[in-house]
Chains A and B, each alone.
Chain A
Amino acid sequence: MHKLNIDEIKKDFPILNQKINGNRLVYLDNGATTQKPIPVIEAIYNYNTKSHGNPHRGAHQLSIRATEEYDLAKERVRKFINAESIEEIIFTRNTTESINLIAYSYGKEFINEGDEIVLAISEHHSNILPWQRIAKEKKATLKYMYLNDDGRIPIEEVKEKITENTKIVSIAHMSNVLGTIHPIEEIIDYGHKMGAIVLIDGAQSTPHINVDVQKLDADFYVFSGHKMLAPMGIGVVYGKKEILESMPPFLMGGDMIEYVYEDHASFAPLPYKFEAGTQNVEGAVGLRAAIEYLEKIGMDNIERHELKLVEYALDKMLSIPYVNVQGPKDLDMRGGIISFTIDDVHPHDVSTILDSYGVAVRAGHHCAQPLMRYLNLPATSRVSFYLYNTKEDVDQFIEGLKNVRKWLGYGS
């Protein structure tokens, strides 16, 4: 176990070295998107200056190099999440597209009238709306697992909601609002016992903790590149090979075919069956570089570093009487996200005021309106940490926080 050398890490992120409204920028919106280190920016630059062509389509050198880069990235992703083969790794635009791919392709083929789809109430809209649509089309039932006061899903709730009629369970590994890490091992295990397949939305977990899809025994695991130092526009579906093989293609078009006739076609083998049209090769290249960067530092070290920041921030936030932390207030099964409200002040005002102190935080419903309604809150403010954040960042955030109410004319 070694401490992260944050000073060295920070040098790799030129964007963080700037002032906002006269104050040092403190970027605490990593749950929304993360910043890119120089090795990622350089990898994309090098690809564009040396190797750019359309992959899988030509015998010329640039097309061959682009194909190699694309496949290397896929292999790197496979290794990162410990999938068995690259046939199980499909590139998409982002987590949203990944979930839509599964809902359309798997859902349309295998979900029937009377089947159940089970989600958690804390899901992001991207893990609710595709299932709402399939449920409506197929006359299936959408069911939600609810959280306890601590923001966690009790195992009794899992066992009550997942039944023998459940066809699919789809749940985030880590809540994007509360930072809770859900007990997905138990959920996957119980889902399988009931004969369901289980999709894990790893958008908030993959960037921050070790993920081993084989150890988890997840049927699907999805995530986005841009929340883990890579560019926007590259995302991943991991799916077990036998399940992916049973599914029809999602989008139809170039590169995903075997033979095409006037009135019918056969499709390419995995994973290309699910990758229609020209893909985002520079995004894949950036994702590969991002994974290499993260692995060099070590996912265990990143997780430990973020938990220390959460501990430090929670300690300070919980001691301020008008700050209300939502979700888990201890370090057990949680990641580097803290949602909170401030008495009498709307989260959007909190965000504007913190911005004037150079501190970037998210405000709003975090694309989780059903959760907000369940918590009986219109919105929250959210801080989310990453490997480049420091205790000094937390101090600047707390300093701003202590001034919020004053700006709105409240005593303290």
Chain B
Amino acid sequence: MDLSSIYTQLIMEHNRSGHNKRPLSNPDITERGHNPSCGDDITLQLKISDDIIEDASFEGVGCAISQASTSMMIDLIKGKSIGEALKLVETFIGMIKKEITNEEELEILEDSIVLQNISNMPARVKCAVLAWHTLKEALGQN
């Protein structure tokens, strides 16, 4: 295992920056996601108007992978429609499960593609997918 393929520059920046880590005022949706076995615990907040995710943020604690994955996801979904966001969730989880490997198909994930290597680390997969499952839950799709 090459650690530098896991703890990449981009993941470290997202883990440390915290630019998406704040409470929203009057969020339309608040959803908590939790990995009981390791203690990653995030609360996702969304502001939605006319089917568009206008703003999103999170709070909580977790490892670098879960925190970076959440932050990247928030960057990605802001301004997207609910349908587009759900498509992103499906693509991301497909990538981590190694069900989607086609690069063109993965392109919509933008920076989040750096998390692809996590699919080779079974012990950390749930850290990477936590935020995305939480978003799916928040959008009422589970």
Contacts and interface: CB of A to CB of B under 8 A. Distances in A.
Nearest to A364: B38
Given A346-B62, A346-B63, A352 B124 contact: yes
A347 B61 CA distance: 11
Contacts of A143: none
Interface residues of A, number: 19
Nearest to A20: B1
Contacts of B16: 408-409
A349 B65 contact: yes
A364 B61 CA distance: 12
Contact of B39 (A21, A349, A353, A364): A364
B24 interface: no
A352 B6 contact: yes
Contacts of B61: 346, 378
Contacts of A372: 39
A407 interface: yes
A379 interface: yes
B100 interface: no
Contacts of B62: 346, 378
B7, B9, B16 — most chain A CB neighbours (10 Å): B7
A356 interface: yes
Contact of A348 (B12, B13, B63): B63
B38 A407 contact: no
Interface string B40-69: 110000000000000000000111110100
A159 B63 CA distance: 40
Contacts of A348: 38, 40, 63, 65, 124, 127
Interface of B, helix, strand, loop or mixed by DSSP: helix
Interface in A371-410: 372, 378-379, 407-409
A349 B12 contact: no
A352 B104 CA distance: 30
Residues of B in contact with A, size category: 20 to 34
A21 B1 contact: yes
A365 interface: yes
A345 B64 contact: yes
A409 B65 contact: no
Interface string B1-37: 1010011010011011000000000000000000001
A135 interface: no
A215 to B, nearest CB: 38
Contacts of A83: none
B41 to A, nearest CB: 7
A167 B127 CA distance: 42
B64 A346 contact: yes
A368 to B, nearest CB: 11
B39 A407 contact: no
B13, B38, B63, B67 — most chain A CB neighbours (10 Å): B63
Contacts of A356: 1, 3
Given A407-B7, A408-B15, A364 B37 contact: yes
Contacts of B124: 348, 352
Interface string A326-358: 000000000000000000011111001101100
Interface in B80-112: none
A66 interface: no
A266 B125 CA distance: 52
A349 B1 CA distance: 14
Contact of A349 (B13, B37, B63): B63
B9, B39, B41, B62 — most chain A CB neighbours (10 Å): B39
A196 interface: no
A363 interface: yes
B124 to A, nearest CB: 6
A91 to B, nearest CB: 29
A352 B38 CA distance: 13
A346 B60 CA distance: 12
A407 B3 contact: yes
A365 B39 contact: yes
A408 B12 contact: yes
A353 B12 CA distance: 14
B35 to A, nearest CB: 9
Contacts of B41: 378
Contacts of B121: 352
B13, B37, B38 — most chain A CB neighbours (10 Å): B38
Contacts of A378: 39, 41, 61-62
27 contacts: A21-B1, A346-B62, A346-B67, A347-B63, A348-B63, A348-B65, A349-B7, A349-B63, A349-B64, A352-B6, A352-B123, A353-B3, A355-B1, A356-B1, A363-B38, A364-B37, A364-B38, A365-B39, A378-B39, A378-B41, A379-B39, A407-B7, A408-B7, A408-B12, A409-B7, A409-B12, A409-B13
3 closest residue pairs by CB, A with B: A346-B63, A409-B12, A348-B63
Interface of B: 1, 3, 6-7, 9, 12-13, 15-16, 37-41, 61-65, 67, 121, 123-124, 127
Given A356-B1, A408-B7, A408-B12, 9 more contacts: A21-B1, A346-B64, A347-B63, A348-B63, A353-B7, A355-B1, A372-B39, A379-B38, A408-B15
